[in-house]
Chains A and B, each alone.
Chain A
């Protein structure tokens, strides 16, 4: 999987900087047609490239003035160079390299952004991207039964997981879940913390989520579960969830109790408190409020529109439905405000062959011609 270390991120940032500088210098002579195409392709490969190109252009304006401050003559500099080690130690000059001696989590480099210009931006975008990239799921605890996998949240921030059935899970800090999938059913137990579920479709194996003495039955939906000292809370972001009372747990530890009687049905924007004595009355909440713990930006690199849309759907009770497989499969890169799915929809509407239909409870994204549109060079 694409687990990037900070070192990788620093290396990648450096490579992009060198590419940007090389392209900037290339512009001093007219570009050949092939170079023009290559330069455009490079710019279109990632917003990081665009940001870095601006940053180089910005810095370049100061280079002449900075060089003018050099006191040594050309002859003296040439003389020094002659006696220097012929090996160019680029870029190990001056201060410590970023990433290697910086123990702070990558997300911290937002600070650099707040203080700097476009200069700090590329690094921050890289960091934000790094922070949100799906992490490789590492089982932190192996229970006797091999099919049980336990996942814990990261100390650094919200962790995103994709399970084998396509279910997307976001785990807050200090959260823990256990996943049991077999041929007949999919079950996830929320042990503690704050978890957002976007359940993958599987007609054969229903998904059941265990929260203390209750079992949640998903009917194609996105919902948020919080388990802490204050009790258990379920919030449905979109779709429908049925809450069932769990039957008396069997003595064996690694078996989850079978679901019993249904006690409540929740739809989008509804919340319920669950505890051993029963359930509270259902009340209405804002989806954004329930998922305020999620990162405030959605960033993705070469990700399919279908997956990006699912990321947005964690924040809105009016989900995006990408109905055309050709559109859903197109890959894009970028950063959006998570609480502004409209911006993403507006962007989708500008794509060729895409029509956006507001269907009331959801936003449908369909193909105008029903043809798969994967024009090379379009993305």
Chain B
């Protein structure tokens, strides 16, 4: 399950083939990004309770719905079917033409994010760096910081949320 989560995250985040940046860059119409979220949301609403209960990974379901919509949209816009149902193909297809631009963009985002992390409260910053840079487990971090593993998790959540809010201001 953990690998699965990481895979989805990698596809949607690390490759920078995010839904929004795809829509914003390629379609240049801000409504499409909102439409996508809206459409994903409506599909979630329409789920039968019985189906909802059977979903083993809601997150994977969420991303799959979004990926399929991105794909449908790409098909509609380009009037040609994509070769494969594989999410990877869709992602590759979407990012390929504007890779250089995306990399530059991505580099400046990372630097900005790093400066935000530097300004987190010291404990929060230490936990974030130990977790994301040094890849220490919650338990290892807890021992070094003399706090509970539960607190480690809380610091990570708060660190992410603080960064996300600041990034939203930045963007």
- Bound CA span A125–B35, Å: 11
Interface residues of B in 32-81 (CB under 8 A from A): 33-34, 37-38, 40-42, 44-47, 49, 52-53, 55-59, 62-63, 66
- Do B129 and A93 touch across chains, with their CB atoms under 8 A apart? no
What are the residues of chain A within 8 A of B5 when measuring CB–CB?
27-28
- Do B129 and A74 touch across chains, with their CB atoms under 8 A apart? yes
- Do B126 and A21 touch across chains, with their CB atoms under 8 A apart? no
Interchain nearest-CB distance for B119 vs A (Å): 4
Q: Does B26 contact A (CB under 8 A)?
A: no
Q: What 0/1 pattern do residues 19 to 37 of A give for CB contact below 8 A with B?
A: 0111011011111000011
Interchain nearest-CB distance for A353 vs B (Å): 13
Q: How large is the interface on A (under 10, 10 to 19, 20 to 34, 35 or more residues)?
A: 35 or more
The prevalent SS among residues of B at the interface is: helix
- Bound CA span A73–B8, Å: 30
- Do B126 and A80 touch across chains, with their CB atoms under 8 A apart? yes
What are the residues of chain A within 8 A of B121 when measuring CB–CB?
84-85, 88-90, 93
- Bound CA span A94–B162, Å: 10
Q: Which of A37, A58, A60 contacts B53 (CB 8 A)?
A: A37
Among A31, A51, A91, A117, find the residue whose CB has the most chain B CB atoms closer than 10 A.
A117
Q: A43-B58, A70-B129 are in contact. Are A57 and B13 (CB under 8 A)?
A: yes
- Do A93 and B31 touch across chains, with their CB atoms under 8 A apart? no
Q: Does B82 contact A (CB under 8 A)?
A: no
What are the residues of chain B within 8 A of A13 when measuring CB–CB?
165
- Do A65 and B165 touch across chains, with their CB atoms under 8 A apart? no
What are the residues of chain B within 8 A of A183 when measuring CB–CB?
none
Q: What 0/1 pattern do residues 105 to 147 of B give for CB contact below 8 A with A?
A: 0100111011011111111111011111110100000001100
Interchain nearest-CB distance for B96 vs A (Å): 18
- Do A58 and B18 touch across chains, with their CB atoms under 8 A apart? yes
What are the residues of chain A within 8 A of B1 when measuring CB–CB?
29-30
- Do A379 and B45 touch across chains, with their CB atoms under 8 A apart? yes
Nearest B-chain residue to A116, judged by Cβ: B171
- Bound CA span A114–B25, Å: 11
Q: Does A204 contact B (CB under 8 A)?
A: no
Q: Does B89 contact A (CB under 8 A)?
A: no
What are the residues of chain A within 8 A of B10 when measuring CB–CB?
61
What are the residues of chain A within 8 A of B31 when measuring CB–CB?
337
Q: Does A368 contact B (CB under 8 A)?
A: no
- Do B34 and A44 touch across chains, with their CB atoms under 8 A apart? no
What are the residues of chain A within 8 A of B52 when measuring CB–CB?
37, 40, 377
What are the residues of chain A within 8 A of B162 when measuring CB–CB?
90-91, 93
Q: A60-B160, A350-B46 are in contact. Are A43 and B110 (CB under 8 A)?
A: no
Q: Which of B9, B20, B55, B58 contacts A117 (CB 8 A)?
A: B20
Q: Does B21 contact A (CB under 8 A)?
A: yes
- Do B132 and A64 touch across chains, with their CB atoms under 8 A apart? yes
- Do B161 and A66 touch across chains, with their CB atoms under 8 A apart? no
Interchain nearest-CB distance for A279 vs B (Å): 40
Q: Does B94 contact A (CB under 8 A)?
A: no
Q: Does A67 contact B (CB under 8 A)?
A: yes
Q: Does B30 contact A (CB under 8 A)?
A: yes
- Do B37 and A66 touch across chains, with their CB atoms under 8 A apart? no
Interchain nearest-CB distance for B25 vs A (Å): 9
Q: Which of B16, B132, B145 contacts A81 (CB 8 A)?
A: B145
- Do B38 and A47 touch across chains, with their CB atoms under 8 A apart? yes
What are the residues of chain B within 8 A of A25 when measuring CB–CB?
153, 156-157, 160
What are the residues of chain A within 8 A of B134 when measuring CB–CB?
74
Interface residues of A in 118-166 (CB under 8 A from B): 118-123, 125
Q: Does A39 contact B (CB under 8 A)?
A: yes
- Bound CA span A378–B47, Å: 7
**12 pairs, A vs B, C-beta closer than 8 Å:** A21-B161, A28-B5, A54-B37, A57-B12, A58-B12, A63-B160, A66-B111, A66-B113, A70-B114, A77-B130, A116-B171, A118-B33
- Excluding A29-B2, A98-B169, A377-B52, 6 further A-B contacts by CB distance (< 8 Å) are A36-B57, A40-B44, A54-B18, A117-B171, A335-B38, A378-B49
**Chain A: residues with CB nearer than 8 A to chain B?**
13-14, 17-18, 20-22, 24-25, 27-31, 36-37, 39-40, 43-44, 46-47, 50-51, 53-70, 72, 74, 77-78, 80-81, 83-85, 88-91, 93-95, 98, 112-123, 125, 332-337, 347, 350-351, 375-379
Which 5 residue pairs across A and B have the least CB separation, nearest first?
A61-B13, A116-B171, A117-B20, A118-B20, A67-B132
